[in-house]
Amino acid sequence: MVEITFLGSGGGRFITITQMRSTGGFLINSSVRLYVDPGPGALVRSWRYKLDPRKLDAIFVSHRHVDHCSDLEVMVEGMTIGVTKKRGVLIASKSVIEGDETHTPAVSKYHTDSLEEVHVANPGDRFVLGEDELIITPSIHSDPTTVGFRMRTAEGDISYIPDTEYFEGLKELHDGARIVIASVTRPQDMKIPYHLTTEDAVYFLRGLKKKPELFVMNHVGMKMHFANPHKEAKFIENVTGVKTIVAKEGLKVMVHGDEVALRTLRPVRFV
């Protein structure tokens, strides 16, 4: 069984600063527990769904933009049981680990020293995580070191396409994945550089030889939010024949045998 739990579905500056959609990233629970893109709220939203960061095995961060990495250090503290145990794996873009001309690293030496393994991920790299394998894929984004992945699991492949503009190679990289999670930031007719739109999602899905069983639209930006992302999802589904949904906080996707099932988790309340 592979379970994917979303701790948010928002992306972009304006959704992030208003929290009109939460921005915590998502957790893949397969042979290992892999947290992906711990943006603002990752720790708080995790506990809201009783997900204990002390049980994480690995963290993947696609790039150094704050909506993808702001909670990285605190999630590392979770994974290392409050920096008392050397454990866990961090796989992240070069910009996250080393910083770039305009950004400091997203994680301090204090935190990377607490981890068992730290890897700068480049397209084509492969990392074994338990019984699974992470194949790193490229992106074309304003952070040029941005990376995604295709995760090979016993239940088939799970693909993550983070912030990127559409490019031809995208189809080959993710053809045949069972589940594709993609940052579809903008609705139809509202293209901006370095991000995917509804039309891009359609080109991508139409061009696949073996289509996924589920396409999850993630990283909903403000324009997409107000354009009604569910309507955009319906459009994608109608023209491509691929079941398409919009991520939301508390959404759980379960892949087991022939089945892909969806659930919405109930949040717990804290005082």
Residues that bind Zn ion (CB under 5 A): 65, 163
Nearer to Zn ion, 2 or 91 (CB): 91
Looking at beta carbons, which residue is closest to Zn ion? 65
Q: Which residue has the tokens 């708080």?
A: 44
- CA-CA distance, 201 to 206, in Å (whole number)? 8
State the nearest-atom distance from the C-beta of 143 to Zn ion, in Å. Answer: 6
Nearer to Zn ion, 158 or 196 (CB): 196
- CA-CA distance, 110 to 118, in Å (whole number)? 13
Nearer to Zn ion, 193 or 257 (CB): 193
State the nearest-atom distance from the C-beta of 220 to Zn ion, in Å. Answer: 13
Helix 229-240 to helix 198-206 angle (10° resolution) is 20
Nearer to Zn ion, 163 or 249 (CB): 163
Is the Cα torsion angle 179, 183, 88, 116 positive or negative in sign?
A: positive
State the nearest-atom distance from the C-beta of 141 to Zn ion, in Å. Answer: 6
Q: Report CA-CA distances (Å) from 145 to 137, 164, 247.
A: 11, 11, 25
Nearer to Zn ion, 155 or 163 (CB): 163
- Position 195, amino acid: H
State the nearest-atom distance from the C-beta of 23 to Zn ion, in Å. Answer: 12
Nearer to Zn ion, 65 or 174 (CB): 65
State the nearest-atom distance from the C-beta of 63 to Zn ion, in Å. Answer: 6
**DSSP one-letter string for 122-133:** -TT-EEEETTEE
State the nearest-atom distance from the C-beta of 183 to Zn ion, in Å. Answer: 8
Q: What is the dihedral of CA 220, 36, 176, 194, to 10 degrees?
A: 50
Nearer to Zn ion, 143 or 155 (CB): 143
Give the H or E element holding residue 185.
Answer: strand 179-186
Q: Identify whether the C-beta of residue 161 lies closer than 8 Å to the C-beta of residue 197.
A: no
State the nearest-atom distance from the C-beta of 62 to Zn ion, in Å. Answer: 8
Q: How far is CA 132 from the centre of its chain?
A: 17
Q: Identify whether the C-beta of residue 141 lies closer than 8 Å to the C-beta of residue 148.
A: no
